[in-house]
Amino acid sequence: MARRSAPLLRRLVSASSPPAPQPLPGLARRTVTYMPRPGDGAPRAVTLIPGDGIGPLVTGAVRQVMEAMHAPVYFETYDVHGDMPTVPPAVIDSIRRNKVCIKGGLATPVGGGVSSLNMQLRKELDLYASLVHCSNLPGLPTRHQGVDIVVIRENTEGEYSGLEHEVVPGVVESLKVITKFCSERIAKYAFEYAYLNNRKKVTAVHKANIMKLADGLFLESCREVASKYPGIQYNEMIVDNCSMQLVSKPEQFDVMVTPNLYGNLVANTAAGIVGGTGIMPGGNVGQDYAVFEQGASAGNVGNENIVEQKKANPVALLLSSAMMLRHLQFPSFADWLETAVKRVVAEGTYRTKDLGGSSTTQEVTDAVIASLD
Amino acid sequence: MALRRLLQGSVLPRVAGRALAPAVAPFSTESGETIRATLFPGDGIGPEIAESVKQVFNVAGVPIEWEEHYVGTEVDPRTESFLTWESLESVRRNKVGLKGPMATPIGKGHRSLNLTLRKELGLYANVRPCNSLPGYKTRYDDVNLVTIRENTEGEYSGLEHQVVRGVVESLKIITRQASLRVAEYAFHYAKANGRERVSAIHKANIMRKTDGLFLKCCREVAEKYPEIQYEEVIIDNCCMTLVKNPVLFDVLVMPNLYGDIISDLCAGLIGGLGLTPSCNIGEGGICLAEAVHGSAPDIAGKNLANPTALMLSAVMMLRHLQFNDKADRIHNAILQTIAEGKYRTADLGGKASTSEFTNAVCDHI
């Protein structure tokens, strides 16, 4: 994509666009002005991995919307599929160069010899924090209201170390590794996130009554970091009690920090109670790189029906791309996109099957583009 | 006397070598003789709710004679815990038991009560049927599923060590024997209770060998029960589906950790631990039904406790003993009482006392 001057093209586009739709209450655009530095408008390169299953559909939606907004990003697309033995080095190099990536889901074969490419990517780029923001979208009725939870999950070690072996035939061992280094940095990230986003409470999720040493070490690190943030409430909750509370009283949670496996379960549960995989944004971040994808890992590759009928829900990845725009320091574009997506979801005319409607991906994407004002 | 009891203990048939002990209890239900069952009333609200259960069973005419055992005040060196050897022998002999909530004493030098029961009685499967109670509205209606959790190994083997400072390893063990055992029980349960589908929950895309072995065992058992549908669901999808649409699940069979989390999640769907029955199956056909909620010391002795969980667990015990018609009558009585809404205990939003609730249930039988 050739480099263009964003402001000029925006003027051209806005001159010919239809009359702006009425803003819904609570979705007003940001009124605080910010002062960019000269040259901030130069388009940034972002690696795009379409992925498997519904991945190409939803990343296609992101691409279309970015073009319609004339956002100062351009995509370098790389094809990666779940059945490749490793992530191609060209892709890793591209992400190292661009520092930011947006991707669709990569299918992981069950029980096969190939290790998960998602995990490989995370370990290779040391993306140690996975973040899912689960909150009620206005206008979308769910069983639970008033939910606003951010689940921050350690992404590199724990039960996903991949260290397994057969001791004797019929007996298999798997190692769960917890280190102070990784526990500390994820706890620091969680508290820093809470501090920067004006969050009041951080809950550590664990099973230290059974796994005393492993989860005990995780909790120790969390407590140490908590003592440095006296303004933020900190509490601990056992993971089975936590899942029970999530389905009965999710309003009590704010930010949750968890080791790898519990984070998977908690994030998927929390995403499920507010609407599911189709609408929750999320991403993985490390010291140097950030990879954005759908928040919940359940069904992020979809099934053949959805792929055939092209009815995947692009809302999740669109909201993640808004997070990406904020990460790239284009806050106005991010707000613009988020407002448009939330407006489409609230109106309810164009909803995919998982939200109770019957639209296709393309219809939702067009609705979002039309809703950009 | 103690020596004879010890010898008796070693002569009792141990079926540890077999992969499966039939869960069908070898009791004759036509003869009308009473069956002895062990009762652990437990601590806190335990004794009151145990009384409720005894009252309901009396009214329903269930031919059970209870042997009550209490948690001791001293550590018994033969069992290394506060449960005496006699209590455990009683369960082994009677093969059925009902356990109220037990508060684990703090301190060292003894095993936790649950761990003692599990190890000594070889309790390998934890079964929790989660059914929405008609008349008690939660955010989820039509929940009708059963979670069966492997209870002996997996992530809870307790094998951890510090490799170097700041690095800890914890072992997750999956064995063919234990996985086959719990899978056999799951399919047997499904068949015996008219269930159509068994779903194995796993994370074999990441933990390929361990959960892979678990899945292999489940598949082997599934082949022996062609009339029951079998599917495998990754735990992420399972959690998501459970909170969005729990009606899609029937029987879930899982290794230890996932089972712990999912069974508590399902308990949350129907209204919490105060309403959830649970039953542990052990080697040799032992069935120990238990109430999984806490002992609630703050309301102990005040006639405020909700006996539903213990009553429903006792119903499960009756079904295991194949007293199906009595079990159905008591179960319906409980459901009717809660549905009517006139007598509900405080935790369900009502104002009735334990005895009022129990009397209402007895009236409905």
Cα-flanking dihedrals φ and ψ of residue B310, to 5°?
A: -70, -35
ipTM of the complex: 0.84
Give A170's contacts in chain B (Cβ within 8 Å). 175-177, 213
Closest-CA distance of chain A to residue B121, Å: 20
Closest CA to B125 of B71, B175, B180: B180
Angle formed by the axes of helices B324-340 and B354-364, nearest 10°: 120
User: From the CA of A52, how many Å to the nearest CA of chain B?
Assistant: 16
Q: Give the domain ranges of chain A.
A: 42-128+280-372, 143-163+171-274
Sort out which chain A residues have CB atoms less than 8 A from B206's CB and list them.
Answer: 108, 116, 119, 159-160, 162
Contacts of A249 (CB under 8 A, 6+ apart): none
Higher pLDDT, A305 or B197: B197
Residue of A nearest to B216 (CA): A111
Comparing CB atoms, the residue among B167, B212, B269 nearest residue A111 is B212
DSSP letter at B285 equals T
Average pLDDT of chain A to the nearest whole number: 87
d(CA B197, CA B227): 9
In whole angstroms, give the CA distance from residue A20 to residue B304. 60
With a cut of 80, say whether residue A98 has pLDDT above it: yes
Partner-chain contact A177 B168, CB within 8 Å? yes
The answer to whether the Cβ–Cβ distance between B170 and A109 falls below 8 Å is: no
* Buried-state track A249-286, b at ≥16 Cβ within 10 A, e below 16: ebeebbbbbbbbbbbbbbbbbbbbbbbbbbbbbbbbbb
Q: Residue B295 has what pLDDT?
A: 82
Residue from the list B207, B240, B257 with its beta carbon closest to the beta carbon of A298: B240
% of residues, chain A, pLDDT over 90 = 64
Nearest to B252 by CA among B155, B149, B343: B149
Nearest to B184 by CA among B219, B155, B153: B219
Nearest to B268 among A143, A174, A244 (CB): A244
Strand pairing category for A44-49 and B35-40: unpaired
Q: What is the mean pLDDT of each run of 10 residues along chain B (365 residues)?
A: 47 38 44 82 89 91 89 78 85 91 72 80 93 87 93 84 92 93 94 93 89 94 95 92 92 93 93 91 91 85 88 92 90 89 82 88 88
* Statement: A143-163+171-274 belongs to CATH 3.30.499.10: no
Residue of B nearest to A303 (CA): B237
Measure B143 CA to nearest chain A CA, in Å: 13
Would the CB atoms of B140 and A247 count as touching at under 8 Å?
yes
Check residue B234 and give its pLDDT: 92
Question: Do B35-103+114-126+273-364 and B139-270 come out as alike in CATH topology?
Answer: yes
Nearest by CB to residue A265, choosing from B167, B169, B235, is B235
- What CATH architecture applies to the domain B139-270? 3-Layer(aba) Sandwich (3.40)
pLDDT of residue B86: 86
Specify whether the CB–CB gap between A111 and A269 falls below 8 A.
no
Residue to substitute from A261, A294, A313, interface B, most B β-carbons within 10 A? A261
CA-based radius of gyration for chain B: 20
Q: What is the pLDDT of residue B24?
A: 46
Half-sphere exposure of B274 (CA within 13 A, CB side): 16
8 Å CB contact between B280 and B126: yes
Kindly determine whether residue B268 and residue A160, on different chains, have CB atoms separated by under 8 Å.
no
* Residue from B350, B338, B327, B276 nearest B127 by CA: B276
Q: A177 contacts in B (CB within 8 Å)?
A: 167-170
**Encoding tokens for residue B9?**
């203990």
pLDDT in tens, A255-289: 999 999 899 999 999 999 998 888 999 999 999 99
Q: Which residues contact B3 (CB under 8 A, 6 or more apart)?
A: none
CA distances to A24, B215, B232, B310, B321 from B212, rounded to whole Å, are: 50, 5, 11, 36, 34
Cβ separation B175–A243 shorter than 8 A: no
Topology agreement, domain A42-128+280-372 and domain A143-163+171-274: yes
Contact call for residues A250 and A147 (beta carbons, < 8 A): yes
Lowest-pLDDT choice from A108-112, A193-197, A338-342, B207-211? A108-112
Q: Which of A134, A243, A260 to mutate to test the interface with B (most CBs of B within 10 A)?
A: A243
Angle, nearest 10°, between helix axes B235-244 and B256-270? 10
Cα–Cα distance, B262 to B260 (Å, whole number): 6
* Architecture of domain B35-103+114-126+273-364 in this structure: 3-Layer(aba) Sandwich (3.40)
DSSP A207: -
Higher pLDDT: A112 or B121? It is B121
Cross-chain Cβ contact B206/A298 below 8 Å: no
Q: Are B301 and A280 in contact (CB under 8 A)?
A: no
Q: Strand, coil or helix: what is B291?
A: strand
**pLDDT bracket for residue A111 (50, 70, 90):** low
Q: Which positions in chain B touch A173 (Cβ < 8 Å)?
A: 171-173, 210
Residue A52 scores a pLDDT above 80: yes
C-beta atoms of B257 and A261 within 8 A: yes
pLDDT range class, residue A32, cuts 50, 70, 90: low
Q: Give residue-wise pLDDT tens across range A138-176.
A: 999 899 999 999 999 998 888 887 889 999 999 999 999
Q: How does DSSP classify residue B205?
A: T
The residue of chain B nearest to residue A116, with distances taken between CA atoms, is B206
Domain A42-128+280-372 belongs in CATH node 3.40.718.10: yes
What residues in B contact A243, CB-CB < 8 Å?
Answer: 239, 261-262, 264-265, 268
Query: Are A173 and B173 an interchain contact pair (Cβ–Cβ within 8 Å)?
Result: yes
